[in-house]
Structures are given as C-alpha cells and as structure tokens.
Structure 1
Amino acid sequence: MSIVKWHAVASWTWDAQDETCGILWGSCNHAFHLHCILKWVNSQTSQAHCPMCRREWQFKE
C-alpha cells in the first residue's frame, strides 16, 4: 500500500494544566477544544474566523 495523496491541516501542541478540556461549538458547527480555539481566536489580528471553513467565528449558544 502506498499513500497517493495526503492533506495535512494543522499540528498544535499545548501545555494543558489538567486532563479535562471542554469542547466548544461554533455557529458554523465546527467543534474545537477550549484552549485550541481560544488560542486561535486570540492570534487573529482582525476579526476571528473558523480555522476549518473561514466563516466569521462566533460561539454557538
């Protein structure tokens, strides 16, 4: 078997203080770990966008 095509999205590491990590949903229906999406949103220079679909990021209510 050989790999014909491979699409990498991202590789992130973090220093989690505990083993529990909440999952947050965006209005676009993509879900992320709490610390991952907060790091992403805070790194955006202007308006934050979903890292998967690039729609404006809004937390789902």
Structure 2
Amino acid sequence: MKVTIKEWNAVASWRWDMPEDDVCGICRVQFDGTCPTCKYPGDDCALLNGQCGHSFHMHCLLTWIQQDASKGLCPMCRQKFEWKKSE
C-alpha cells in the first residue's frame, strides 16, 4: 500500500520555562497568557526576573516602576528591584 500526503498542517505550542502555577505578581495572569498590554502571548513581552526571585511580565513591571509610588521597589516583597542577570 502506497500513501501520498497531499496536505500537512503543522501545529506548535510554546511556554515559558517556569512552573505552571507561577503568575505575574502585578497583573496576576499566568506567564503563558498575555499581559494586559499584549495581544498575543510572547508579543515582545519577555519575563523579567528579579534578584529577589519574583517574576513579572516586562510591560507590567515597566508600568509599575514608572509610578512614583513604586520607588523602584519590587511590588511583591518591597526590596529594591534589580534584574537577575541571565545565566
């Protein structure tokens, strides 16, 4: 029996390398979802990890940091927010 493939539809999925139950500490949306600013997951919205161990959508954190009330502190633990360097 000979089989000829006439059409092939590929499907792909992606996810951040984070535990499933982790959510952005600001918007409370899972990292696989979209932040309030983005239309699609991963839309130029990287995850930012702080030295304190908390993670946020880039747009959420940038909006937070720009507010005077934030004083450059992590919204979760109120320590000075410093980006964790990539390994």
Q: CA RMSD in A?
A: 2.5
TM-score (norm 2): 0.48
Question: How many residue pairs were aligned?
Answer: 53
Which amino acid is the alignment partner of residue 31 of structure 1? S
2:31 is aligned with 1:31: no
Unmatched 5+ stretches in structure 1? 1-8
- Structure with bigger gyration radius: 2
Which residues in structure 2 correspond to 1:1-61 (within 5 Å)? 14-16=36-38, 18-20=40-42, 21-44=45-68, 47-61=71-85
Q: 1:45 to 1:34 in 2, by over 3 A?
A: same
Unmatched 5+ stretches in structure 2? 1-24, 29-34
In the aligned structure 2, how far is the partner of 1:17 from the partner of 1:11? Answer: 15
| Aligned-pair CA distance for 1:34 | 0.5
3-state SS in 2 of match to 1:58? coil
TM-score (norm 1): 0.65
How much identity, in percent, do the aligned residues show?
34
Q: 1:17 to 1:25 in 2, by over 3 A?
A: same
